[in-house]
Amino acid sequence: MQRRALVWCLGITSVAMVGEAIGGWVTGSLMLLSDAVHMLSHSVALGVSYVAVVIANRRRTARSHYGLFRAEILASLFNAIGLFVLTAWIVYESIERLQSPVHVVGPAMVVVAIIGLLVNVLTAWILGRSGAEDLNTRSALLHMLGDMFSSAVIVVGGVVLIQTGWNWIDPVLSLAVAAVILWWAVGLLRSSCSILLERAPEGVEPDDVVDAMRVEAGVRGVHDMHIWEITSGYICLTTHIVVDDTHVSETARLLESICDLLWERFQIAHVTLQIEAAVR
């Protein structure tokens, strides 16, 4: 269901992106071109989400122990870098047009912007109906909702331009769209680099994880712990657990209990625990 929804949304968004780019070139609207760039970033995000869903269903091999989930992060990193370049171009063009105004065909621009807005509403509805249970699908849905806002701003700006003839509105609102794209790019770059550098995930405090494990009966200590993400939402943990002198069967129950605890409280999916006997 989610895979089919992502494919539909990717196709619809890509067609709308090309339409907005052509509309921006024909009407002379930098706003439409900026929104086309915004749609491009979300087309990439949808593509990354689809690839992540496909990869998640592939078998792991002896040479890819965690699968190929990092492909999503690499794609996100390149997407962020591309957005920085495109944002710089939008800012440059906006400043140029503020100094030398360009005539914009207002009515045609509004029509194209309304179509873009309707596309965003449609894709958000499709993703919402799919359930959006997967983290990547939920992320794509949030991106579409953000796109709806920028498209609505462009429609309003186009109406104001038609009523007033103020061509400077086009580059000014383009700068606003560029700011939204830049904000999205910075967040994407930060999260991608954080995962690639194997930092502890946002929202998971290592000290809280240690305290939770120490509460388990039989655990005397926790040390040499590492928490990281393979991809967004796939958290891994390795650590050494110091336990009382217990039987093997009791140790097995303890390990199962700790794994359940880590999943329920912190959504840590892959856990490797090394047991050590307490020194008397």
The answer to whether residues 43 and 130 belong to one domain is yes
Would you give the DSSP letter of residue 268?
E
What CATH code is carried by the domain that includes residue 268? 3.30.70.1350
The answer to whether residues 21 and 150 belong to one domain is yes
pTM score > 0.85 for this model?
no
**Percent of the chain surpassing pLDDT 90:** 6
The answer to whether residues 184 and 271 belong to one domain is no
User: Looking at 168, 196, 224, which one is the last position of a domain?
Assistant: 196
* Residue 137 pLDDT greater than 60, yes or no: no
Assess if residue 201 is contained within a domain: no
The answer to whether residues 8 and 123 belong to one domain is yes
Looking at the 3D structure of the chain, how many domains does it have? 2
The span from the CA of 185 to the CA of 178, in Å, is: 10
The span from the CA of 18 to the CA of 27, in Å, is: 14
The SS3 assignment for 38 reads helix
Range of the domain at 182: 2-196
Provide mean pLDDT across the span 118-134.
70
Provide mean pLDDT across the span 53-80.
70
Q: 46 or 24, which is more confident?
A: 24
The SS3 assignment for 54 reads helix
CA 258 to chain centre: 30
* Residue 257 pLDDT greater than 60, yes or no: yes
Assess if residue 187 is contained within a domain: yes
The answer to whether residues 219 and 177 belong to one domain is no
For 53-65, write each residue's pLDDT tens digit: 676 666 666 666 6
The span from the CA of 90 to the CA of 178, in Å, is: 6
